[in-house]
Amino acid sequence: MMTIFTWLAGFTVLGTLAMAVWLYQPDKQRGALEEIYAGEYRTVDGVRLRLRDTGPSDAQAIVMLHGFGASLETWEDWARALSARYRVIRFDLPGFGLTGADPTGDYTDARSMKILGDLMDQLDVDRASLIGNSLGGRIAWNFAALHPDRVINLVLISPDGFASPGFDYGRQSETPLIMRALPYTAPRSMLKANLAAAYGNPEALSEASVIRYHDMMLAPGVRPAILARLSQVFLREPGPTLARIQAPTLLLWGEKDGMIPISNADDYLRDLPNATLVRLPGLGHLPFEEDPVQSLVPLERFLSGEEQSSIQ
């Protein structure tokens, strides 16, 4: 959902690890969260994934990959609309939501892609359109390059993957000392501020969304898993990988995205061989949450196979 750097910057306001003790918050009980947040569960490569699989089982499949700190609920409005025509599969990535921690402790992109492919196998999905936001976008475009035969269309919403402050190419990321407070604290006010920054219009952020994100942050094992994922980020220059992608690609980008600015779209357009950019005026990093009706229009046109010129 959010860029990793934004999370790091947000937590620096705590100032000291001692503050974490004062703001201590334990995990919530899994059973209580599962009563609130529905889903089915499948074990894939030793990970108990929470997922939802809706729409006609014999329809063309769409797999949706959420961003950093999010869960499958982030796609709720889009999934409801798309399920009338497509088979829509979404799941909590390992380390997030009610999937929780990966027992192997491996949160690399390679591990995420392996789980994605094996989940598709379990669900008898040979090929699918992939939709990914931010971190999920990075996983999606890497998967599309590695498995071109399995991706029909690729939709990237403010995707991650190019270097940014604190995340350079060819070097393991470093987790700041202050982030080690994360397993002990998750201030709701700070989380709300980070979420508001992901919206073009912060007033569009509902209290229900804040509660959901906070609940998922406090799900068992999630906060240590986030730290583990941060420590395992290893970026390579994306150009050669992007150039191998064969699937028609739609870039959806909010013009007011304060997490990954729309200027980054130029990097993708330079390297992707078959990409179209649609700018979303007034929207931020989470257009499918902020304005699911407006943002869905170009997506539906793209998935239906209309000429790319018609969605520009």
Q: Is the pLDDT of residue 175 over 70?
A: no
pLDDT of res. 309? 44
Tell me the three state secondary structure of residue 255: coil
In this predicted model, what pLDDT tens digit does every residue of 264-311 receive, in sequence order? 999 999 999 999 999 999 999 999 999 999 999 999 999 998 744 444
Rounded (5°) CA angle 45-49-53: 120
Place 202 in a pLDDT band, splitting at 50, 70 and 90.
very high
pLDDT of res. 286? 98
In-domain check, residue 309: no
In-domain check, residue 263: yes
In-domain check, residue 268: yes
Q: Is the pLDDT of residue 89 over 70?
A: yes
Give the tokens for residue 125.
């999905």
In-domain check, residue 310: no
In this predicted model, what pLDDT tens digit does every residue of 205-259 receive, in sequence order? 999 999 999 999 999 999 999 989 988 988 889 999 999 999 999 999 999 999 9
- CATH number of the domain that 177 lies in? 3.40.50.1820
Q: Is the pLDDT of residue 90 over 90?
A: yes
Q: Is the pLDDT of residue 101 over 50?
A: yes
- Give the least confident one: 82-96, 106-120, 145-159, 179-193: 179-193
Give the tokens for residue 73.
């609920």
In-domain check, residue 266: yes
In-domain check, residue 311: no
In this predicted model, what pLDDT tens digit does every residue of 2-42 receive, in sequence order? 454 454 445 444 444 445 555 678 899 999 999 999 999 99
In-domain check, residue 230: yes
In-domain check, residue 312: no
Kindly provide the residue ranges of all beta strands, DSSP E only, lying in the chain, ordered along the sequence.
Answer: 40-44, 47-54, 61-65, 87-91, 128-133, 151-157, 249-254, 275-280
Tell me the three state secondary structure of residue 171: coil
Domain total for the chain? 1
Average pLDDT over residues 167-179: 64
In this predicted model, what pLDDT tens digit does every residue of 59-79 receive, in sequence order? 999 999 999 999 999 999 999
pTM, 2 dp: 0.90
DSSP codes, 48-102: EEEEEEES-TTSPEEEEE--TT--GGGGHHHHHHHTTTSEEEEEPPTTSTTT---
Q: Which domain holds residue 152?
A: 4-304
Tell me the three state secondary structure of residue 146: helix
